[in-house]
Amino acid sequence: MLSLTEKLLETLNNKRLIMDGAMGSEIFSSLNCNYKTFNYKYCEHLNIHNPELIKSIHKSYLEAGATLIKCNTFSGASLFLDEYILENSLGGTEKQEAYRANFEGVKIAKEVAQKFSLNKSEKIIIAGIISLPWGQEIHKEALEYAFHSQINSLLDGGADLLFLESLYDLEKTLLLIDVIDKNFSSIPIMLSFSPQLKNVDGLEQYSIFSGESLKDACDKIITKYPSLNYISFGLNCCSCSTSLIKPILELENYLIHRGLKNIYISLHPSAGIPSISTIATYPDTVKKFISNFSKIIERSSKLRFIGGCCGTNPDYIAQLISFNSIH
Ligand SMILES: [Zn+2]
């Protein structure tokens, strides 16, 4: 029997796979949350305390046609980090909360996907989402503990692969990959950077928050950990403009020149850069999002995972699917 990676590579050889859209902004609008006062880690607690809401968001994306579902576990490592830092002052209850929030995040996504895929032949991929906690002064051991614990709980929940998303800092990313390399080296992984457009010596270029260009960040990762089960490198949470063509082609050229033909590219941008008051308003309509996305798709030969980040919803994904089906 073919492994998930082998099946995926077979599929990716000749088609693009559609990911879902935003989870966070969908939660905020469903619950009428105030962006100024909202505690973002609350999102993962909803996996335990309001699973029906999270299930309904997953279902809406599956109905739109997505075949890769991102679990609601984005801040899951931060939950374990809080637990580690407060270990001495809190009892066992908090410990179980971090584990349960992550475990249930995968379990409920799987549950919805299984019900949904009963009538369809295509396997729905359940991606355990991991992001990097913010903060400069985090102890290496604490961060290692947080990543290791989160991955354990995501895999216990039944994640098909790990999706390292919104990567903004190379040092923390390397630490996360080191944990995977030492303990979970066979699991398929997707890596997605959150780039920023910067003006360097008069030239506009995309780099990550810690300063490295996308190519340099990928190169450091691949050089240090050459034999992991990488499925894709990509970008997310950036504005979907045609200026993304350049960094996508930069990634593509890098992968081709390094001879990494089985590593593809993913892209799930936001619906523009939001203006934030008590609510967030995203500037890109579905039409604009698709129009910009289509120009990127036309130029890239390795772009195989497409979807949406902040501000997108099932309409964006449905339209992306109908564009993709004719191109
Ligand atoms: Zn985003």
* Structure confidence at residue 149 as a pLDDT band (50, 70, 90): very high
- Whole-number Å distance, alpha carbon 268 to ligand 1 midpoint, is 8
Percent of the chain with pLDDT over 70: 97
- Whole-number Å distance, alpha carbon 25 to ligand 1 midpoint, is 9
Q: Which domain holds residue 79?
A: 4-325
* Structure confidence at residue 94 as a pLDDT band (50, 70, 90): low
* 273/282 Cα distance (integer angstroms): 6
Structural domain count of the chain: 1
**Single-letter residue type at 62:** L
**Is residue 66 a contact partner of residue 307, using CB atoms and an 8 Å limit?**
yes
* Structure confidence at residue 91 as a pLDDT band (50, 70, 90): low
Burial 295-316 (b: 16+ CB within 10 A, else e): ebbeebebbbbbbbbbbbbbeb
- Whole-number Å distance, alpha carbon 91 to ligand 1 midpoint, is 33
- CATH number, domain of 284, equals 3.20.20.330
> What's the whole-number mean pLDDT along residues 195-212?
85
- Whole-number Å distance, alpha carbon 236 to ligand 1 midpoint, is 6
Answer yes or no: pTM beyond 0.85. yes
- Whole-number Å distance, alpha carbon 87 to ligand 1 midpoint, is 30
- Whole-number Å distance, alpha carbon 130 to ligand 1 midpoint, is 13
- Whole-number Å distance, alpha carbon 273 to ligand 1 midpoint, is 9
SS3 for 309?
Answer: coil
- Whole-number Å distance, alpha carbon 44 to ligand 1 midpoint, is 16
What pLDDT does residue 21 have?
Answer: 98
Higher-pLDDT residue of 90 and 299 is: 299
- Whole-number Å distance, alpha carbon 89 to ligand 1 midpoint, is 33
- Whole-number Å distance, alpha carbon 92 to ligand 1 midpoint, is 32
> What's the whole-number mean pLDDT along residues 284-290?
96
Tell me the CA distances in angstroms from 88 to 85, 97, 272, 281, one per residue in order.
8, 16, 42, 41
* 236/99 Cα distance (integer angstroms): 26
What pLDDT does residue 75 have?
Answer: 95
- Whole-number Å distance, alpha carbon 122 to ligand 1 midpoint, is 27
Q: Which of 3-7, 27-31, 282-286 shows the lowest mean pLDDT across its residues?
A: 3-7
Tell me the CA distances in angstroms from 265 to 184, 253, 318, one per residue in order.
22, 11, 21
Percent of the chain with pLDDT over 90: 72
- Whole-number Å distance, alpha carbon 29 to ligand 1 midpoint, is 15
Q: How many CB atoms lie within 10 A of CB 277?
A: 10
- Whole-number Å distance, alpha carbon 194 to ligand 1 midpoint, is 8
Tell me the CA distances in angstroms from 323 to 98, 143, 266, 268, 314, one per residue in order.
39, 41, 17, 15, 14
pLDDT tens-digit series, residues 165-202: 999 999 999 999 999 999 999 999 999 999 988 877 88
